Structure 1
């Protein structure tokens, strides 16, 4: 027995000595001119042994950009069912009352969930209550001049078509939403849409399809719903207190994959809104964020400043160690194959299709996060030994090419892969 214990202790010491050597070799790579004028952090964790392998500025706060979506994914997977709610409804005095739940999939150009429309086609005397969203249409700290950019749609209680309209002028004018066809002007302009109204601008030479967010309000949504369903819809200022029922639609995993693979900001925002349906009547992404931080993630050593679902806001602040903590929670609650399918894979899919390639097999399954002068990567690294490590590599305030930074990050991550 003593000999067995001695062997175990010796093996543990060798293992500990091995990763400490790795730690030293990796952290010294930050002590060179490449990193001297930027702020970088790397936290690497072994979920099986429970060892922190590398902690270089892991307890410092960074602007995470779309790494914020890791927390959004965790919130959604913790609170939402396997099939996402499409609409809530009730009946009173023979009238049908409906209200949105924030589901991003209805008529979405990729997700194409038709459950809401098919349900409404079968109803009569429909009344829409639209004012159940407590959030502002644009998030705190979002750049004002992104209002016409495809990646910055408005948040809403009942989104349709991803809250964007598609426009092109190849052979003739194409407008994906019929009610906007008379709102498009063929002329050059500084922006693709007027700031305060749904008036869109398209160059006569624009052959490729562009996506432009539209302003969402009850009147706009009613018109789209009426066109799609062939039904007359009345806007109301209340929702009856009679029994509330829910219609369910698309599978959650397909939405989560779209969220993470292409870093879809709109889906991220709407998932936090939709998750709040499990916490009360009114929709509020702030309510979801607060609940998750106070309950499921109350073990975080460094409470983040978490202000939106997408990471568009530079007000967000997270530490690499907090990212790893949440990734560990995801790892423990989700089959590995499912998780790796949702996250982009280096050299193969999503936002990592051209970066962090493995040879001969992929080794990175992770979420990117990009804002100007900021690039973060957090997720799962499969070492050559077969072990899975959880990591967060965050970089703020660099001025060089992002491709140069990614190449340097790849060198460090490959070294960990080859030597752990």
Structure 2
């Protein structure tokens, strides 16, 4: 099966194809591994013939980093449906009570406008919010504690708003800061010193934020995650909606209604192409809520392993939705198995639209460039670890699923990425 060079994924045709030239690929991988004294795994699979073509350390466990999002995608697709639940709610004569679903879309600049905002904004009933169905921690297992001030580590919450971060900027010619969410002005303090470069530092246990100006006086724009609490959420919603939202503690009833917010693919696309950690973590909560009534990522993971990953070659060690945790472990052949499940479950045109594309979209935009794209998939990077998995289209028009995983190299990531690019290009051109 191949993706047409004009429509890429949209049109599928069967053609005769010579067997893949395994020897040169394996020799290149062996030389690569020896050069950097790291751990490499590579698996190439033919989905049409259900045949493993290359298996180099395919049974070994690797830290997947953001390749973990492929597991999250499969779980979300099999659980959530065409649109994301925005809130659970009940109504009385003069009141509306709502619970979060984990939906990441409310006022998040990367996603379409959520139906939740207009729903809450238009009602004339008194608003009450309960987080009683949230049973998770605000950070995933094994996350680095000192990443809390960066948006790639935004807090997990039952009902995110603004992507759970604030945006602050300053023009060089102006003396004051600009906040896209004015509510957070109350938390800003001026630091006691001037730095070479601007620093915006939030206290780890509160929303107190210290601004250290730069001696260079340059323009800047930064995002800072805020520290979640039910009080902060309801106060922020009250300020944004210009109406009171009262926090309460009430169990999620069995007769609650669901308000859907945005098309699910719009969230999947940002998660997979831009490797958005926040969306990945929240989608796992959404899935958990639909499967168990509890916003608890561990429950979604357990369910997915038991039901969606039956038949996987090697059971993964899977602890979060995004891959920020180094506790996650998976084998290359299991990554290929998961991609094959997506390949069988999702129409080609839709699947292609969600993925990073070599030379064109997402985290692969500056890599694997070619006149016609030949790499479609997902990258995963942590310090000293870089992986890529997905689909490779050969020059002869054959589509394969692959996983190329590299852990514990002692050099800069760019060096490893370029060698991986060279190996995959040779596979593409010679087959």
Do they fold alike, i.e. is TM over 0.5?
Answer: yes
Call closer, same or farther: CA 1:84–1:240 in 2, change over 3 Å: closer
Instruction: Say if 2:196 is the partner of 1:185.
Output: no
Matched residue SS, 2:106 = coil
> Structure 1 CA distance, aligned partners of 2:414 and 2:294?
43
- The verdict on how the C-alpha distance between 1:239 and 1:31 changes in structure 2, with shifts beyond 3 A counting, is closer
Query: Matched residue of 2:287: which SS?
Result: helix
Structure 1 match to 2:300: 288
1:7-406 matches, cutoff 5 A: 18-19=19-20, 22-32=21-31, 35-36=34-35, 37-92=37-92, 94-123=94-123, 124-170=125-171, 171=174, 172-187=176-191, 192-205=201-214, 207-239=219-251, 241=253, 243-358=255-370, 360-406=371-417
SS in 1 for 2:429: helix
Structure 1 residue 234: Cα displacement:
1.6
Q: For the residues of structure 1 that align with 2:346 and 2:421, how far apart are their CA atoms?
A: 26
Q: Does the aligned pair in 1 maintain the 2:113–2:262 contact within 8 Å?
A: yes
Q: For this pair of structures, how many residues does the alignment match?
A: 403
TM-score after normalising by structure 2: 0.90
Q: How far does the alpha carbon of each residue in 1:157-216 deviate from its partner, in whole angstroms, 9 at most, with x for none?
A: 000000001111223311122221121123368762111110112332362211111001
Taking structure 1 as the reference length, the TM-score comes to 0.92
Q: Work out whether residues 90 and 240 of structure 1, in 8 Å CA contact, stay in contact via their aligned partners in 2.
A: no
Is contact 1:179–1:223 with CA below 8 Å preserved after alignment? no
What is the SS of the residue equivalent to 1:376?
strand
Taking only aligned residues, the RMSD between alpha carbons, in angstroms, comes to: 1.8
1:57-76 residue CA offsets vs partner (Å, 9 max, x unmatched): 01100000000001011111
Separation of aligned partners in 2, 1:348 and 1:281: 39
For 2:200 and 2:317, the matched residues in 1 are separated by: 32
Unmatched tracts of structure 1, length 5 or more: 1-13
**Of 369-378 and 28-37, the range deviating more from structure 2:** 28-37
Residue by residue, what CA displacement relative to the aligned partner does 1:278-328 show, whole Å, maximum 9, x if unpaired? 212221111111111101111111000000000000000011111111111
> Structure 1 residue 242: deviation in Å?
6.2
TM-superposed CA distance for 1:34, in Å, is 5.2
Of residues 338-347 and 197-206 in structure 1, the stretch that sits farther from structure 2 once superposed is 197-206
2:11 aligns to what? none
In structure 2, the CA distance between the partners of 1:317 and 1:191, relative to structure 1 (3 Å rule), is farther
Asked whether the 8 Å contact 2:313–2:337 carries over to 1, the reply is no
CA separation in 2, counterparts of 1:15 and 1:169? 58
Displacement of 1:15: 7.1
- Contact kept in structure 2, 1:92 and 1:240, CA below 8 Å: no
2:430 matches 1:419: yes
CA distance in 1, matches of 2:92, 2:293: 18
8 Å contact from structure 2 (residues 61, 329) kept in 1: yes
Q: In 2 relative to 1, CA 204–112 (structure 1 residues): closer, same or farther, beyond 3 Å?
A: farther
Q: Distance in 2 between matches of 1:152 and 1:332?
A: 32
**What 5-or-longer segments of structure 2 have no aligned partner?**
1-15
Q: Does the C-alpha gap of structure 1 residues 240 and 34 become closer, same or farther in structure 2, counting only changes over 3 Å?
A: closer
For residue 35 of structure 1, report the CA deviation from its aligned partner: 3.2
Distance 1:250 1:240, change over 3 A: closer
